[in-house]
Every structure is written in structure tokens, then in C-alpha cells.
Structure 1
Amino acid sequence: PRGYPGPSGPSGMPGHIGPPGPSSMDHGFLVTRHSQSVDIPLCPEGTTPIYDGYSLLYVQGNERSHGQDLGTAGSCLRKFSPMPFLFCNINNVCNFASRNDYSYWLTSPEPMPMSMAPITGESIKPFISRCAVCEAPAMVIAVHSQTIQIPPCPQGWASLWIGYSFVM
């Protein structure tokens, strides 16, 4: 038979320092890269690919317009559609590509056909730029130059890639 437990004894000596713990979760800083070609761009070194898609620049629908920041995930749509939105009325009736809606996409260097005839369906895809959304371990900034010189990164920052500025 066992008796009642006694009082707790004094604390022991501190143990050895343990190994480092696992890394924290990624913080989800997303950056989008556009190739302006039919090739899907690679994510910069040190970032993780999330998905790839087609480079959306601007949409107008229902007499409203919206430009996409080309550095954000919203400018890279997984599926190409000339009219990537719906209009729904107050009765929950939705219409696709109605009214005078349109969209602008970044292009590839593929030359237009000599006839300049409208391009429809799947045959339009070679004319649309591809993009990739990547997750970075820290915030990403773009540094622009007003000259032909490549601007330096601010102190403490590293270059991920060199590209061209775009203004609309």
C-alpha cells in the first residue's frame, strides 16, 4: 500500500538551452509579376509561387471603371475572360457581358493579324500577358526612376528583379 503524497521538493537546476523552434507561419506578403509574354514568369528568389494567370489592367462596367495595381494579386486572374465580371440588378438577375462593358489586359509581343479582324475565343490567349502571384517573407516595394538609369534600392533593401515602370 502507498501512503499520501508528500510536499513538493525544491526546484532543480535549470536545463540546457533547447534547439531553435520551428519558423513562424508566412505572413502572406503577396507580389505579382507580369511577363508581357505568353511565358509564365518565375517568382523571384526567396518567394513562393501561389498561382499563375493572365495580366488584367483595367475594367469598365455599368459606367464605372477600375484600374488594377499591377503589383497586387487582383491584376493576375487565374482564368482569362474578356468580361471578368457580372452585373446583377435588384431582383438578383445577373447578366454577363451586357451593357457597354470592356476590359484591358497587358499584351504579349505577338503581332496582330494583318487583316486586323477581331480575335475571339481561345485564339486570343497568345496576345495576353501571363503573370504569377508570389508570397514574399517581407514587404516588397517598387523603386522607379525618371531616367534610363536603374535606381538603387534603399539602404537595407535587396533587389528582386529589374523591370519597367508603367503608367496609365
Structure 2
Amino acid sequence: MPFMFCNLNSVCHVSSRNDYSFWLSTAEPMTQMMNPVSGTAIRPYISRCAVCEVPTQILAVHSQDSFVPQCPHGWSPLYSGYSFVMHTAAGAEGTGQNLESPGSCLEEFRAVPFIECHGRGTCNHYATNHGFWLAIIDKNKQWRKPMSQTLKAGGLKDRVSRCQLPLNYSVRDENIEGTTNV
């Protein structure tokens, strides 16, 4: 995604810096040689989404446990997932999610759930990319210094917190009942 940057003299430049963008990726494996992809070859690697209006409140609830948390009383479940916190890349690049945001509860777990793209039109899963997930905390050890642990393929989800996206329809119903025709 090329960016345009402008200075105080009203001079703008397009695609002339290290333009980085990060996209939620699919589970599609990269090319065998891990070469960057460009053009229409990028499509299978970038996740598709649909933005829908929800006529009510929605939030993410995280358990810091292997069990999916229950919805608060009066709320209905939309979906459950894994607690995603943030990602980083080379240098100071990266971004995060507020934990109450629906974007912090991803339905699928992938160690690094995004792909990095550059202004020159290439995308790849680079070795400098890191995904940060909310970890499970043993209730008996939650106020102690955590012990370091290295997890390898096959056991990665064993320490990732689960989450749930509840919807609060009662707020919507109250708003509907309180409306008047003028």
C-alpha cells in the first residue's frame, strides 16, 4: 500500500519511502523459497473481511485460561477465539489492539497472523515479524514472576488465552423502546 507524505511547503511524495503496511493473513503457506509475492499473487495471502453494522454493543472478553470465557449475564455469544495483543516487525514497526476490541479476539490461531507489505508492491512473512498473544496464567501463580518457557510447533496454542465476543442485545432493545416519533 503506497503512502503519500507531505511537508510544510505543500510538496508531496508518493511511494518514495519505506512504506510498510500489515494485513491480517490467511493460512496460505508462502512460496517454497519464501520469496516476496507481488501483483495478483498477493491475493491468496491477505484475509478478506466483511464489515457489518451491529445494532448493539460488542466487546471482547479474555479468560487468560485455556477455557473460553462465558458471556456476561444478558449477553449472547457471537464467536470464540484466541486473545491477540499485538504484532511487531523490523525496527519500530507494528501495532496492537485494545483488549476490549473485537479485533483482539481472533477466531483462528496462527503464530504470526499478519503479512507485511512494502510500498514497492511486495508482501511476505519476514523473519522479523512477531505475533504477541495473551498468555494463560495459572490462577495459583498469577501474582508471581512468570517462568520463561519456549514452545515449539504443535504446542503453541497450549499457552494462549481464549476469548469470547459477546453481544448485548438488551442495550439495543432499550434504545428501540425509548424512541419516539416526532
Q: Sort the TM-score into its range (normalised by shorter chain).
A: 0.5 to 0.7
Larger of the two Rg values belongs to structure: 1
1:31 aligns with 2:53: no
Question: Aligned to 2:151, which of 91, 101, 119?
Answer: 119
TM-score by length of 2: 0.53
Q: Can you list the C-alpha shifts for 1:117-136, whole angstroms capped at 9, x where unaligned?
A: 63122311110100001111
- The count of residues paired between Structure 1 and Structure 2 equals 111
Give the share of equivalent positions with the same residue, in percent. 28
Write the distance in 2 (CA, Å) between the matches of 1:76 and 1:122: 21
Q: Does residue 1:75 correspond to 2:104, yes or no?
A: yes
CA distance in 1, matches of 2:115, 2:75: 33
Residue 104 of structure 1: how far off its partner (Å): 1.6
What is the 5 A alignment of 1:100-115? 100-109=128-137
Gaps of 5+ in 2: 1-52, 142-147, 173-182
Q: Distance in 2 between matches of 1:125 and 1:61?
A: 22
Partner of 2:86: 58
1:94: Cα distance to partner?
2.2
Does 2:74 correspond to 1:46?
yes
**Change beyond 3 A, Cα 1:66–1:26:** closer
Higher helix proportion (structure 1 or 2): 2
User: Structure 1: how far apart are the matches of 2:84 and 2:54?
Assistant: 26
Runs of 4+ in 1 over 6 A off after TM superposition: none
Task: Give the Cα–Cα distance (whole angstroms) in 2 for the partners of residues 46 and 117 of structure 1.
Answer: 38
C-alpha deviation, 1:45, in angstroms: 1.5
Give unmatched runs, 5+ long, in structure 1. 1-24, 140-168
Q: Which letter does structure 1 place at the counterpart of 2:153?
A: G
The 1:87–1:46 alpha-carbon spacing in structure 2 relative to 1, beyond 3 Å, is same
Per-residue CA distance 1:15-60 (angstroms, 9 max, x = gap): xxxxxxxxxx961311110000000011111111011000011211
**TM-score, normalization: structure 1?**
0.57
Query: Which structure shows the higher strand fraction?
Result: 2
Aligned-partner SS, 1:125: helix
**Aligned Cα RMSD in Å?**
2.6
Q: Equivalents in 1 of 2:102, 2:156: separation in Å? A: 22
